[in-house]
Amino acid sequence: MTIAEQVVLLDDAGNSIGTADKATVHHEHTPLHLAFSSYLFDTDGRFLITRRALTKKTWPGIWTNSCCGHPAPGESPADAVSRRLVDELGLPGPHKVELILPAFRYRAVMPDGIVEHEMCPVYRVLVEAEPAPNPAEVDSVRWLPWGQFLEEVRTGELDISPWCVLQLTELVPLGDPLQWQAGDPSELPPVLR
């Protein structure tokens, strides 16, 4: 018997108010819940972008940052990042997962009305292995120099997820991704402190 994946529901201040099945939480009235985003770089500073599987309920087939997901109840986001790197991208650990944007949150609505509504800390991960994407999660991947990625987004050549667009407004001012300063853990949502 398969156990349904659970997401942590949050109040507006970031405190846990329960859980819900991931399979049922995303709809026109998606409640605020806990998530994470991660940005993977190799030792040459190239950034890994991923195209979401066409079967995903939210933003199928859209290019986005390297890996996203939801911490399970009681799971730290860093552990959730490592778990999803294995599940989505076939990248075995251990992973060096570094908090960059502790307080990122967003709400986005798809054309069909489905909503994403997340408190979503952002992490940087340095990897040395090549991904082996799980086709149920990831349609395809590309390694790009950070500057080329930003240029393709700026010119509209690359259409990316709404959360990635919003994250870039905070990440770009930080400069070289390999030099990003770690975020302050005290700024994480209370559920993670």
Which residue intervals of the chain are DSSP H helices?
Answer: 22-25, 77-89, 146-155, 162-171
Report the candidate in 55, 57, 59, 83 with the shortest Cα–Cα distance to residue 69: 83
Active-site residue, from 67, 68, 120, 164: 68
- 133 contact partners, CB below 8 Å, separation of at least 6: 50, 88, 89, 90, 139, 140, 141
Domain spans of the chain? 6-43+67-135+161-192
Query: pLDDT per position in the chain (193 positions), as tens?
Result: 456 789 999 999 999 999 999 989 999 999 999 999 999 999 899 999 999 999 998 999 999 999 999 999 999 999 999 999 999 999 987 889 999 999 999 999 999 999 999 999 999 999 989 999 999 999 999 999 999 999 999 999 999 999 999 999 999 999 999 999 999 999 999 999 8
Check if 164 is active-site: no
Q: How many residues does the chain have?
A: 193
Structure tokens at 27: 């709809």
Give the class (CATH, top level) of 6-43+67-135+161-192. Answer: alpha beta
Active-site residue, from 88, 98, 118, 137: 118
Check if 118 is active-site: yes
